[in-house]
C-alpha cells in the first residue's frame, strides 16, 4: 500500500473508531434491563489522534457523465466556503411546523484536521440554511465532536446531542436552543467522564428527554428538566449497538442491532424488556473503503405502528440490500427487500420517516448506476402505510464518488444518512461529493411526483 493511503486509512480508522464494529453475540430471548452502573469502554482506540492532516497528493475524482433532470432540486445544506469534509447528517423536523428542520453533521471546516459538529436550521422547507455550533461548553480533554442527533421538545425548543472526545474517551453532551436551532444557550454532560460513550440517539417524549448510547452495551438515560440533569444510566443489552429510538403513544422504544439481529427494547418505568424484530446478516464485502454497518432506521405512524429498515447482506449474489419490517398490534411482519434493482449493487445507510399523511418514506445509498459498484446515488420508496411500496425513485441529480474528498479520501462518508417528512414532502439528506469535497445535500421530494 502506498504511504499516503496507509497513513490516511490508519488516521481515519483511529479518528472515528468510537463507531467501529464491536465483536459481540446476540441473545434472542426476551430479557429485562435494570439501572446498573455504566460499563467502562475497553476499547483503547477511543484515544484518537487530535487531527487528520490533508494529503498533498490528493487529486479530484468527480463522477463523469451528465446530471439527471429531476422534479426536485438538490440543495447544499452546509453554508461554509471551504473544501473540507462534512458527513453523517441527522435531521429533526418540528412537529408543529414542517418547514422548520434542524440538521446536525460532522464537519472538518476548521481546516486544521479537527472535527466538529455543526447545526443547520431552516424555516422555509430547506431552501435556505443557517449554521451554528452546539458545542458551546468545551472540555479541554475533549477537543473533537461527532455523532450528531437532534430532537424537538414539545414547546419548539431544540436539543442537540453529540460525542466529544480527544484526548480523553468519549462523553455525550446535550445542548439546548430556544430559538429553533439558531443559537445554543445551554449545554450539559449527560454521561460520565470516567466511562466511554459513543453513538448517542436522542428523542423527546412529551416533556421527557430519552438519550441512548453505546459503550459495549446499549445504555439509556433520561432527563425531566430540559436536559439540565440526567438519570443514572440503565444497561439495556450487552453487545447492542447503533440505537434508534421512537416514541409511540407516550412510550419510548429503542431499536438496535446485534451480531445477527435487529432488536427493540420497550421501556416500562425504569426498566426495559427486549424482543427480536428480525434476524440480520452481516454485510457482504464491497469494493469501496468507507465504513458501513447494520444501522436500523425507525419511525412510527399516527396509528401506533412502528416501522424499521436496515441494510442486510443475506441475499448472496445480489449485493447488500435494504430490508423493511413493520409492527401491527405488536406483531412484526416478515422482512421485505425495498430495492428492486436486478444486479449485485449495494444499498446501504437507510433512513426512514413517516409523514403527517401516514406515508412511510425510506431512502438509502445506492450503487446501481455504476457497474463497478463504487459511485453512489440516493434512492427512495414510499408507502401509504399499507406495506405496499411504490417504485424505487432516484433522489440525486448527480452521483458521488466516495473518494472525491481531500480530507477523508473515500475512507469515511459517515455512518448514516437522514430523512424527514412533512405535508406531502419527503426530505432526504446525504453526504455528497459533487463539489470535489464532501458536503451535506438534501432534496425535497414531492409525494405527488414520486408515484
CA atoms of 25 and 216, how far apart (whole Å): 11
For residue range 175-187, list pLDDT tens digits in order.
Answer: 999 999 999 999 9
DSSP string, 407-424: TTTTS-S-S--EEEE-SS
H/E run at residue 5: helix 3-15
Domain 3-449: top CATH class: mainly beta
Mean local confidence (pLDDT), 234-261: 96
> Out of 49-53, 287-291, 316-320, 325-329, which region has the weakest mean confidence (pLDDT)?
49-53
pLDDT at 51: 62
> Which pLDDT score, from 0 to 100, does residue 120 have?
98
How far is 376 from 256, CA to CA, in rounded Å? Answer: 25
Q: Pseudo-torsion of CA 425, 373, 284, 319, nearest 10°?
A: 70
- On the question of pLDDT at 49 being above 60, the answer is no
pLDDT digits (tens, 9 = 90+) for 297-307: 999 999 999 99
Task: DSSP letter for 18, please.
Answer: G
pLDDT at 404 over 70: yes
How much is the mean pLDDT over the chain?
A: 88
Region 388-411 average pLDDT: 95
pTM for the structure as a whole: 0.89
For residues 307-333, give the mean pLDDT.
95
The predicted pLDDT at position 112 comes to: 87
Q: Which pLDDT value is given to residue 64? A: 77
pLDDT of 28: 35
Compute the average pLDDT of residues 62-89. Answer: 93
Strands of 294-435 (E only): list them: 297-300, 306-312, 321-328, 331-332, 336-337, 347-354, 360-366, 377-383, 393-394, 418-421, 425-432
C-alpha pair distances (Å), 106 with each of 133, 204, 279 = 11, 22, 31
Alpha carbon 263 to chain centroid distance? 17
Count of CB atoms situated within 10 Å of the CB of 322: 28
pLDDT tens by residue, 413-443: 999 999 999 988 999 999 999 999 999 999 9
Out of 18-27, 45-54, 101-110, 191-200, pick the least confident.
Answer: 18-27
What whole-number distance in Å separates Cα of residue 342 and Cα of residue 323?
Answer: 15
How much is the CA Rg of the chain, to the nearest whole Å? 20
pLDDT over 80 at 53, yes or no: no
DSSP 29-76: S--EE-B-PPPPP--GGGS--S--PPPTT----PPPS-----SS--EE
pLDDT at 50 (0 to 100): 54
Grid coordinates of 431: 453526504
Amino acid at each position: 500500500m502506498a504511504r499516503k493511503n496507509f497513513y490516511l486509512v490508519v488516521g481515519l480508522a483511529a479518528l472515528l473508531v468510537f463507531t467501529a464494529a464491536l465483536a459481540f453475540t446476540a441473545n434472542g430471548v426476551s430479557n429485562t434491563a435494570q439501572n446498573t452502573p455504566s460499563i467502562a469502554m475497553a476499547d483503547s482506540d477511543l484515544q484518537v489522534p487530535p487531527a487528520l492532516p490533508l494529503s498533498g497528493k490528493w487529486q479530484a475524482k468527480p463522477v463523469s457523465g451528465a446530471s439527471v433532470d429531476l422534479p426536485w432540486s438538490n440543495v447544499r445544506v452546509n453554508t461554509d466556503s471551504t473544501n473540507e469534509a462534512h458527513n453523517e447528517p441527522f435531521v429533526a423536523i418540528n412537529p408543529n411546523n414542517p418547514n422548520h428542520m434542524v440538521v446536525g453533521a460532522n464537519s472538518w471546516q476548521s481546516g486544521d484536521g479537527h472535527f466538529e459538529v455543526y447545526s443547520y436550521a431552516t424555516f422555509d422547507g430547506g431552501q435556505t440554511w443557517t449554521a451554528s455550533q452546539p458545542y458551546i461548553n468545551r472540555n479541554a480533554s475533549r477537543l473533537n465532536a461527532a455523532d450528531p442527533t437532534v430532537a424537538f421538545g414539545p414547546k419548539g425548543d431544540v436539543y442537540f446531542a453529540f460525542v466529544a472526545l480527544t484526548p480523553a474517551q468519549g462523553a455525550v453532551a446535550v445542548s439546548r436552543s430556544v430559538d429553533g436551532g439558531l443559537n445554543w444557550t445551554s449545554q450539559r454532560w449527560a454521561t460520565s467522564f470516567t466511562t466511554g460513550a459513543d453513538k448517542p440517539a436522542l428523542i423527546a417524549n412529551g416533556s421527557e428527554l430519552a438519550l441512548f448510547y453505546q459503550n459495549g452495551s446499549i445504555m439509556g438515560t433520561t432527563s425531566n428538566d430540559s436536559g439540565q440533569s440526567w438519570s443514572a444510566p440503565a444497561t439495556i443489552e450487552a453487545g447492542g449497538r447503533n440505537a434508534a429510538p421512537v416514541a409511540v403513544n407516550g412510550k419510548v422504544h429503542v431499536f438496535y442491532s446485534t451480531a445477527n439481529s435487529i432488536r427493540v427494547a420497550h421501556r416500562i418505568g425504569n426498566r426495559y424488556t427486549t424482543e427480536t424484530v428480525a434476524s440480520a446478516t452481516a454485510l457482504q464485502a464491497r469494493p469501496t473503503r468507507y465504513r458501513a454497518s447494520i444501522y436500523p432506521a425507525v419511525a412510527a405512524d399516527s396509528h401506533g405502528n412502528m416501522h424499521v429498515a436496515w441494510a442486510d447482506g443475506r441475499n448472496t449474489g445480489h449485493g447488500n440490500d435494504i430490508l423493511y419490517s413493520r409492527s401491527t398490534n405488536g406483531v412484526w411482519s416478515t422482512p421485505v427487500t425495498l430495492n428492486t434493482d436486478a444486479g449485485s449493487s449495494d444499498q446501504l445507510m437507510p433512513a426512514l420517516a413517516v409523514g403527517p399523511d401516514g406515508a412511510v418514506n425510506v431512502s438509502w445509498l445506492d450503487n446501481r448506476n455504476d457497474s463497478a459498484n463504487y459511485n453512489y446515488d440516493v434512492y427512495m420508496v414510499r408507502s401509504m402505510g399499507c406495506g405496499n411500496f411504490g417504485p424505487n425513485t432516484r433522489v440525486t441529480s448527480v452521483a458521488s464518488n466516495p473518494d472525491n474528498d481531500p480530507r477523508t479520501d473515500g475512507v469515511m462518508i459517515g455512518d448514516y444518512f437522514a430523512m424527514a417528512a412533512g405535508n406531502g414532502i419527503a426530505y432526504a439528506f446525504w453526504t455528497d461529493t459533487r463539489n470535489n469535497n464532501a458536503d451535506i445535500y438534501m432534496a425535497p421530494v414531492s409525494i405527488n411526483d414520486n408515484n
